Structure 1
């Protein structure tokens, strides 16, 4: 039997659990699909409302790295099949112009390595699918905010463009509007930022290093959602060997040979407005083990805002 590279988790369109178990226990599974993938599968199996998705194994990461960052034979076909199945499960197509499926792409090593590797959110957005998101939600600001976030994260994580360039653009737009918070920018402002961000992408991506985004010799932000997905998956695998991750593993005595999984998961949005939020929660206080709810959150934000510390969070205890 050939090695399995992709494991699905969550429910199908009819509400049936279709989780594929990667090991006899969560502890065993984490060596195959990483800690995040193993726990997503376990939560799905016990009936918690986990957004569906699939995990590409840690062993695939190692094989990819050992193969000169080239996909081993047959792996991309298996990933494409998993994506097609996820689309069928959700009744949506990635990047569809009428009702788009959007996904996150996250790393997930066997050991927790917070902030060391990379994440891309809102993948599947382009100039057509953003209109579909507006049509389905009736929330133009949310759609353009999600799109500008995606362009920013994809440019930084996948193409290595400095995040400060985008933060400077946001600061300039806020100054132009006379506001202090990102959340005070309206839909038109965010649409302007998408255009601005694509210009930053074009000016800072080397098409010799990234010929897949070259058009007539210029870097153009990719509109093909399946190309977006493949490049993001490759970037997450590549992040296993970035300088931050290597140093973290060395300091924490984590072997380089373990690899990381890639988790592709249907998006849930914390940036839809004042009734949406994102946060980090613990069932115990991680500082002293006290049996109490612990964590913090942000209203009208996405997870990277909490991790990046660009806004002041609120404690869950409040």
Structure 2
């Protein structure tokens, strides 16, 4: 108990200074350490808190109870976040909304859980509508919160396996059919408000509990759910495959929300600083206008190419960020250069544009093929980003094995007539 009493479980990041830095991955997790590093580099990062991996360990040692000292630490840190963002969590007139995301010291993409729009409730919805003058955005954010929170916190974290997310997704699809629309973005504010009400009724029916209508309850429910997802089936299987120890635990990043779903001047996207398949030194990614991050990775809508280099036969008819928002795209390209110079590696990044303003939400070393790993290592050596020793270590043994397998000669492949495209 003495260790818990003296431990610092919460690290702030935001503005121009963070409590942590990139070499603190064991404590802050990869995501938390890199968010802190981006803040220290002066990049536009929404303010937030990282709850440490040590807190996760203490949570499990304490029979899945949060350390008592955590509550005061979180609220003390939240005052800094509120000050930086100019909003207050749970406030009826000027509410701050939050995301709760996992972040282990070793990247485990898609294996643990995330909740967005935390803090939306009957007390804060009217104030946010008045502040933004955008009721459609608010009700869209609320129905997303219900879907994610019910899935992550009320279903998966409790081990119920009701699959509430699919049931709510099916309700959304059925509602769109009755309205004769194909895209979520075609639903009106009234449609989304009605859906949110129906979602809450379905959650109560399936799970037997009311959807929480209290901002504080939502926040700590989100933190605990991320800790619980460390021992979810997917996460355990991934750790077995990747050789990640069970006792490492995950950090939780509680971050001020910025919104890509506020209209056509807002967007969200993911990108790699180089092509992860070939290693080619081109900016490679996707983006979606008027969307939140989950839309890009969940396949809900077809993402558009980030730039001309990312265009292919399937998406060449879609407008790129380079074409539609050239100024913001140029800013993102400059951030790409800053990040590669600092981290000396190919990075996987996530970003959101809120009404024309760019925010960075994540960066991490990007997954890559064996071919890409070799090409990137050699290119970065020539660019004097890395040393010969680092270049050798950048290619994993499994990637070397991949490179030694017979493959078709790409030059010969180009000579063959294409029969069909899928």
TM exceeds 0.5? yes
Give the structure 2 partner of residue 21 of structure 1: 20
Q: CA deviation at 1:88?
A: 3.3
Give the structure 2 partner of residue 307 of structure 1: 297
> Which of 77, 82, 86 in structure 2 is aligned with 1:82?
77
Mapped pair 1:180 → 2:182: yes
Give the structure 1 partner of residue 370 of structure 2: none
Q: CA deviation at 1:87?
A: 2.3
Distance 2:124 2:68 in 1: 32
Give the structure 2 partner of residue 281 of structure 1: 271
Q: CA deviation at 1:230?
A: 0.5
Give the structure 2 partner of residue 216 of structure 1: none
Name the stretch that deviates more: 89-98 or 151-160: 89-98
Distance 1:220 1:262 in 2: 25
Give ranges in structure 2 of 5+ residues lacking alignment.
Answer: 156-162, 309-422
Give the structure 1 partner of residue 259 of structure 2: 269
SS at match of 1:196: helix
Mapped pair 1:92 → 2:91: no
Give ranges in structure 1 of 5+ residues lacking alignment.
Answer: 12-16, 207-218
Distance 1:21 1:163 in 2: 35
Normalization by structure 1: what TM-score?
0.90
Contact 1:115 1:307 (C-alpha < 8 Å) held by counterparts: no
Contact 1:117 1:239 (C-alpha < 8 Å) held by counterparts: yes
Number of residue-to-residue matches in the alignment: 297
Normalization by structure 2: what TM-score?
0.68
SS at match of 1:74: helix
Give the structure 2 partner of residue 10 of structure 1: 14
CA deviations on 1:17-50 (whole Å, 9 max, x unpaired) are 341126xxx2x31111011101110010111111
Mapped pair 1:122 → 2:124: no
Give the structure 2 partner of residue 212 of structure 1: none
1:128-167 alignment to 2 at 5 Å? 128-160=123-155, 162-167=164-169
- Rg comparison, structure with higher value: 2
Q: CA deviation at 1:275?
A: 1.6
Contact 2:227 2:252 (C-alpha < 8 Å) held by counterparts: yes
4+ residue runs of structure 1 moved beyond 6 angstroms?
A: none
CA deviations on 1:120-167 (whole Å, 9 max, x unpaired) are 101110123111111111111111100110111110010115211111
1:167-316 alignment to 2 at 5 Å? 167-206=169-208, 219-316=209-306
Contact 1:92 1:100 (C-alpha < 8 Å) held by counterparts: yes
Mapped pair 1:43 → 2:38: yes
Name the stretch that deviates more: 304-313 or 143-152: 304-313
Highest RCO, 1 vs 2 (Cα 8 Å, sep ≥ 6): 1
